[in-house]
A and B are shown apart, each in its own frame.
Chain A
Amino acid sequence: MDKRSINLRIGIVLISLLFSMMIVSLFYTPFSVTEINREERFSPPSVRHLLGTDNFGRDVLSRIMKASQTAFFVGLVAVSIGTLFGVTIGAVSGYFGGIVDEIIMRFIDAMMAFPSILLALMFVSVFGVGLRNTIVAIGIMSIPSFARITRSGFVQYKELDYVRSAKVRGVSNLRIMLRHILPNVLSPIVVAASMGFSNAVLAEAALSYLGLGIQPPNPSWGRMLSESQVFITVSPWYAIAPGIFITLLVLGFNFLGDGIRDMREKRK
């Protein structure tokens, strides 16, 4: 077993586990996610409640399972936004070059220089909190890195012989970009997407922790962490569990990204 493919394997395993948990949660959770239960508040992990209960007596495991939907959803949509716009911008910039490229790249550089959480924070603070705006904010946050990667790929490939000959032959620019260049740039984009996913999960957690992301009663791991902080001395499991799951999901996608990158290295 190659050392290099270990990353890939670990990543896939982690992601599959969490993904399956998410799928299951769509149909079934051990307990209701919102029902209040006076008697069972703050109970420690037991056979009945594997991860204990929170301050409302709600089963922590069920809430974590439900929150995984949010994590995957936010990650998926945010990365999609980032990829779609980022790749388009980067492709146009890299392929056409010139003044357009200059202007776009300066803006991208400026955006990348700003701490991304700051941009996301300002966006959400100004346009409102909640699921939709959180996703948009994080999506916008991820555009620059996709743009950069795509652009350098396109810059690299557009000078190649077969691309030039296609141009001479009169193939349309759009077709060249999509058919000839893009497939080659795909691989680093996928790696970036994987990393982008984990960044999105972390960003959502941070925003929700600050109270600016997902709003109750929708469960979010980040929000659970901020709510549970008060009770850390009384019920530590409530404050620890969401953090572990965030870490696992992020690890999963990081390993996946590394694994894909390793495979690309190997093929070279």
Chain B
Amino acid sequence: MRKILLIIMLSIISLTSLLSQKIVVAVMQDPDFLDPHRAAASGTYEMMFNVFEGLLKPDSNGSVVPAVAESYHISEDGLTYTFTLRSGVKFHNGFEVTVDDVLYSLNRLKGNNQERGLSSDFEKFVSKIEAVDEKTIKVELSTLNTDFLEKFIIAIIPANNDNHEVNPIGTGPFKFVKYQPGQRLVIEKFDEYWNPELPIVDEVEFRIIPDNQAAIMSFMAGDVQILPRLDAIQAMVLGNRFNLITAEQNMVQLMAMNHAVSPFDDIRVRRAINHAVDKDEIIEIVAGGYGTKLGSNMSPIMSMYHQEGLEDYYETSLVRSRQLLSEAGYPDGFSTKITVPSNYQFHIDTAQIIVEQLKRVGIEAEIELVEWSVWLDKVYTSREYEMTIIGLTGKLSAYDILRRYVSDYPRNFYNYFNIEYDRVVKMAIEKTDIEEKASLFKQAQIILTEDAAAVYIMDPNFFVALAPNLFGYKVYPLYVQDMSTLYYR
């Protein structure tokens, strides 16, 4: 009797889920801010990508395409960006987007004499924002930065909204419904979206499930329809009853060595470690083979800017490693500590393998697990560590990816100071010709590799598990979940 009731209930539930089409996506963290200009965490953008749009927006190839703007033009000297607004774009509150809203949004980022801007980049690079007419906006840069175009994906929000945090209003295919901290973020279809074909489903719930195992179980039970960030081992656990999509994450997983701490200030030691770490072994065991070996701080998925061949620069050779260590004065190795954030099992597993690998050349490494907050404080802020393992999420702009190593970058926790590197990177963003820009960014990667700035391990594939009747998922080289193209069949 109970079984029959259960079956009836389940059928009703699945029927209703077809009628009012709803998707539940499991995500691992809460958004940090709903206000798109204050939000910094990639996890937030992952969800709010569906609610907000900028003058431009990223597409699944990693380039930017017009969104709120209909078209754009960059001046020859690269200093002036001119945007033409798309007509008929509406905010979720029904009002049409005007140049005033665009001015409001961009000025909010840039700041003025009274208030600080919400974006350091806008503050630093933008000198003037003006409305040429009611459909055109001109943004002038003070310093040349040819990678600045990507910045315009930042949300355009209505000037007449008094609280963007409590009541987030944008132009995206979905509008914000509610947010329950620690539980869920719900969005629903925006009927007046400027692209009439999208979105397809009616409602999306981002359910916050920090524990991957619990998320997997919910998925297997049919409560969750999308698991967006599985690693290979978890995907294996799911088996082949579900649709699994896999792609490179555009993440750089690396083991950083603190250049300000001995013996990591010696390039021979850093190179020796690079020779000792067997990246293939790590990829196979921790990622089940689903990872792409890296040679520098750039994933091959950034095809335009990725320098090929660097992953073979340091072949795995215990002999070579021991040789270098001897030369550096450590014929019997040394002891050290690897600080790993305790909430990333992937990095913990990687650390365990590296410890074994380093043992082979006499380096005794002890793993120090710290809470994420502590990692942010000790490693990321105070730079008190010897070695650490972390994964850096992908960005659209090569500059954003590589600038972490620039000497005056406030969060250069590697303590990497190389004037040549700084010069190359700075030159790169001054080049308007994309080939020249790419070749300079590639050079920057070569410098990092030759300098053994860190041990660049892999870009781990991520797996997306989809409910069997769900289609239309688009993979982005970016931390986003695009819900607009999904549909049930």
Binding site for B on A (CB under 8 A): 34-36, 38, 41, 55-57, 125, 129-130, 211, 215-217, 227, 229-231, 233-234
Contact = CB atoms under 8 A, between A and B. Distances in A.
Contacts of A230: 212-213, 216, 233-234, 237
Interface in B277-308: 281, 284-285
Q: Which 3 A-B pairs have the closest CB atoms?
A: A215-B369, A229-B213, A230-B213
B355 A129 contact: no
A76 to B, nearest CB: 24
B280 to A, nearest CB: 10
Contact of B236 (A56, A216, A234): A234
B345 A227 contact: yes
Contacts of A130: 369
B353 A56 contact: yes
8 contacts: A36-B281, A38-B285, A56-B352, A129-B371, A130-B369, A215-B342, A216-B367, A230-B212
B188 to A, nearest CB: 33
B132 to A, nearest CB: 56
A44 to B, nearest CB: 15
Interface in B402-425: none
A53 to B, nearest CB: 12
A38 B216 contact: no
A36 B356 contact: yes
A79 B342 CA distance: 28
A49 to B, nearest CB: 17
Nearest to A55: B233
Interface string B341-369: 01101001100110110000000000111
B369 A38 contact: no
A215 B341 CA distance: 11
Contacts of B356: 34-36
Interface string B368-392: 1111000000000000000000000
Contacts of A35: 356
A199 to B, nearest CB: 25
B426 to A, nearest CB: 41
Given A34-B356, A217-B367, 5 more contacts: A35-B356, A36-B281, A56-B353, A230-B212, A231-B233
A217 B284 contact: no
Nearest to B282: A36
A167 B234 CA distance: 70
A93 to B, nearest CB: 37
B369 A216 contact: yes
A217 B355 contact: yes
Interface in B324-355: 342-343, 345, 348-349, 352-353, 355
A108 B489 CA distance: 62
Contacts of A229: 213
| Max count, chain B CB within 10 A of own CB: residue among A35, A130, A229 | A229
A129 B355 CA distance: 20
Contact of A217 (B212, B216, B234, B352): B352
A231 B237 contact: yes
Nearest to A125: B371
Contacts of A125: 371
Nearest to B233: A55
Interface in B188-242: 212-213, 216, 233-234, 236-237, 239
B202 to A, nearest CB: 32
Nearest to A226: B213
B388 to A, nearest CB: 15
Contact of B349 (A38, A56, A234): A56
B367 A233 contact: no
B285 A56 contact: yes
Given A211-B342, A230-B234, A231-B233, A36 B367 contact: no
B234 A34 contact: no
A246 B239 CA distance: 30
A231 B235 CA distance: 10
A34 B352 contact: yes
Contacts of B284: 38
| Max count, chain B CB within 10 A of own CB: residue among A129, A216, A217, A233 | A216
Contacts of B371: 125, 129
Contacts of A56: 285, 349, 352-353
A247 B239 CA distance: 31
| Max count, chain B CB within 10 A of own CB: residue among A38, A125, A230 | A230
A129 B285 contact: no
A91 to B, nearest CB: 38
A72 to B, nearest CB: 23
A233 B233 CA distance: 12
Contacts of B355: 34, 217
Contacts of A129: 342, 369-371
B281 A38 contact: yes
B348 to A, nearest CB: 6
Contacts of B367: 215-217
A55 to B, nearest CB: 6
Contacts of B281: 36, 38
A36 B212 contact: no
Contacts of A36: 281, 285, 352-353, 356
Contacts of B353: 36, 56
B349 to A, nearest CB: 7
A21 B382 CA distance: 44
Nearest to A57: B285
A237 to B, nearest CB: 15
